[in-house]
Amino acid sequence: MQARPSPIRRPLVGALLPLALSLSLAGLALPPAQAGTATGPATSQARDAQAFESLSHQYIEALWRQEPEYAVAVGRYEFAPRASIPDAAQRERAQRLARHWLARFEGVDAARLSAAQRTDLGQLLNKLRADVFALTELREHEWNPSLYNVAGPLDAILNTDYAPLPQRLRALTQRLASVPAYYRAARASLGTPTLEHTELAIAQAPGVLAVLDEVLKVARSSSLPAAEQRLLRQRVDAARQAVDGYRAHLQQRLAELKASGQARSFRLGRSLYDTKFRHDIQSAHSAEQVYAKALAAREALLAQMEQLSDQLWTQTQGDTPKPADRIDKIGRVIAKLSERHVRREDFVKEIRAQIPELERWIMAHDLLTLDPAKPLVVRETPVYQRGVAGAGIEAPGPYRPQDRTYYNVTPLDGLSEADAESSLREYNHWILQILNIHEAIPGHYTQLVYANKSPSLVKALFGNGAMVEGWAVYGERMMLESGYGGNSPEMWLMYCKWNLRSVTNTILDYSVHVLGMQEREALDLLSRQAFQTEREAQEKWRRVQLTSVQLTSYFSGYSEIMELREARRQALGPAFRLKDFHEQFLSYGNAPVSAIAALMAQPATGKP
Ligand code: ZN
Ligand code: ZN
């Protein structure tokens, strides 16, 4: 999962709008949008639960009218023909919208709401404050040229079967008319960009052109009448020119910035980072506190890993004397163990076979109730989506509950022998199981099924990413604690390596964006000190330059869930049951862990 959608972000090719797309709300019935009720003080709107629901829906519908691309990304395809132009006037409207609704939701009397609605209200307020921050302080529209990309909605409209093909092609024809104006606005909006985001935007241009080509290809073999085909072709040609023009402009700008040394730094700096962290993570702790916790967690992991490596030394290294350096020692044991992996042609098959094993384990050990009516479908990632992650859950947006949820796994077919071997060693016998725990059961997939049981459109759209990632990371540890993997030192060592990745993500993100860590130091932290492959370390270095804060969500969510579990154990004493804790925790939907902690601490009055 990547960063959450911001009011100015356009979906990128291959980069999903994470929470929106990864959550579905089965059977959610939406009331029709209510127009003309925007007068009257907010307090009177929120007299009871009904009024709050109505207010939330009014806001969300207003948001879709302002951000049709976002609407399409979450499955509201009636907005497909409408394109917005990312100019100053649009940002002005976005800011007015956010401030207007912020004032209205600030006027809601939280005491009159149910617990579930109070957390919804918290999410709405946070989302609106984050929007104002993004537009007024973060101002990414001035420095990130890769925000401007028309491919996401085009790709979704072309490849989602929400309506007959000719109708979708007509929607595309309408959308495409504004592409030249879109890129003119992009140029006018940019101030001084970073080199890294400029390079990214240039590198993404061929992907945008490929989507445009695909539109034409699909149109040619469709039943669209000739005259309409001609119009579509003209608009695709004009769009191609606009994309090419934007790319050429950025290439020139990049050369100028490199020559002058005037580019903006990709590093966010402490002030912006702290605020963004507060909005995006919604932790009970500050960014600096979470960073300090990660440093301590890293030390504890390395100590445990050294102990396990001592245990495994002779069996993996024979008579070779142990190196004095613990990083060296651990690294050698991990390298040797990583040789155990599936054959490349069995990669998908093995993942498919493990899912029912994980389900059986959860049930046999009474860890969580699983819904047998919602089996997970493992499939090979559709070809047009490949190229990002190796495996991941793909769920329909909240407005497409009829669509299936898949566990997409990209087969290793396309890789060279060396790259396939490197991936297989990375996803070796043990790590592959941990990956399935994280992505599927009891990780992301199970959490999703639970979230759907307490449908909240607000939490599906503006839910907390640190809770979602934190749960998946927590699930890994919880499974091993229950004895999964036979408590073998091999499994624990590999788990520690995997967990060290989450911990290192937090250390890296804070160090780079706030403390000014340089590339060489970062690569050493990742590859030598966290036992990652060269390729993985390079990819992570690239990601930390292009994103901020999101990399901290895994560890911050995980560590807060661990703290919460301990607090519940203390509070309940002998009445504490792990299964109850899990089910209650998941019952609140995608709320921040800090909000869930507050709800759990209330006297038991049944579930919300
Ligand atoms: Zn091998
Ligand atoms: Zn995840």
Q: From the centroid of its chain, how far is CA 318? A: 43
Taking CA atoms, 230 is separated from 154, 183, 333, 400, 447, in Å, by 18, 23, 63, 32, 47
Antiparallel, parallel or unpaired: β 391-394 and 406-409: antiparallel
pLDDT of residue 385: 65
Q: How far is the CA of 25 from the centre of ligand 2 (A)?
A: 19
CA of 118 to the centre of ligand 1 (A): 52
Ligand number nearest CA of 554 is 2
* Cα 81 to ligand 2 centre (Å): 33
Q: What share of the chain is helix, strand, coil (3-state, %, to 5)?
A: 65, 5, 30
The ligand placed nearest to the CA atom of residue 466 is: 2
pTM given for the model: 0.89
Cα angle, residue 391 at apex, residues 385 and 395 outer, rounded to 5°: 70
Which ligand places an atom closest to the C-alpha of 505?
Answer: 2
Q: State the pLDDT at residue 17.
A: 32
How many angstroms does the Cα of residue 1 sit away from the middle of ligand 2? 6
Distance (angstroms) between ligand 1 centre and the Cα of 341 equals 6
Q: 210 near 150, Cβ under 8 Å?
A: no
Ligand having the closest approach to the CA of 340: 1
In angstroms, rounded to a whole number, what is the distance separating the alpha carbons of residues 305 and 326? 9
CA of 472 to the centre of ligand 2 (A): 6
| Residue 393: strand, helix, or coil | strand
Q: How far is the CA of 426 from the centre of ligand 1 (A)?
A: 10
For residues 330 and 312, the answer to whether their CB atoms sit within 8 Å is no
Cis peptide before 32 (omega within 30 of 0): no
Position 127 scores a pLDDT of 97
Q: How far is the CA of 277 from the centre of ligand 1 (A)?
A: 40
Alpha helices by DSSP H, 442-528: 444-453, 457-462, 465-481, 489-513, 519-523
Nearest to 393 by CA among 457, 443, 356: 443
Mean pLDDT per 10-residue section of the chain, whose length is 608 residues:
31 31 31 39 59 95 97 93 97 98 95 90 97 98 97 93 96 98 98 97 94 96 96 98 98 98 98 98 97 98 98 97 97 98 95 95 96 83 66 80 83 88 93 97 93 84 95 98 98 98 98 98 97 90 96 98 98 97 94 93 59
Considering every ligand atom, which ligand is closest to the CA of 418?
A: 1
pLDDT at 387: 58
What spacing in Å lies between the alpha carbon of 481 and ligand 2's midpoint?
20
Dihedral (Cα; 175, 177, 179, 180), 10-degree rounding: -170
Structure tokens at 258: 């490199």
Measured in angstroms, how far is the CA atom of residue 339 from the centroid of ligand 1? 5
Residue 465 CA to ligand 2 centre (angstroms): 9
Q: Return residues with CB closer than 5 A to ligand 2 (ion).
A: 469, 472
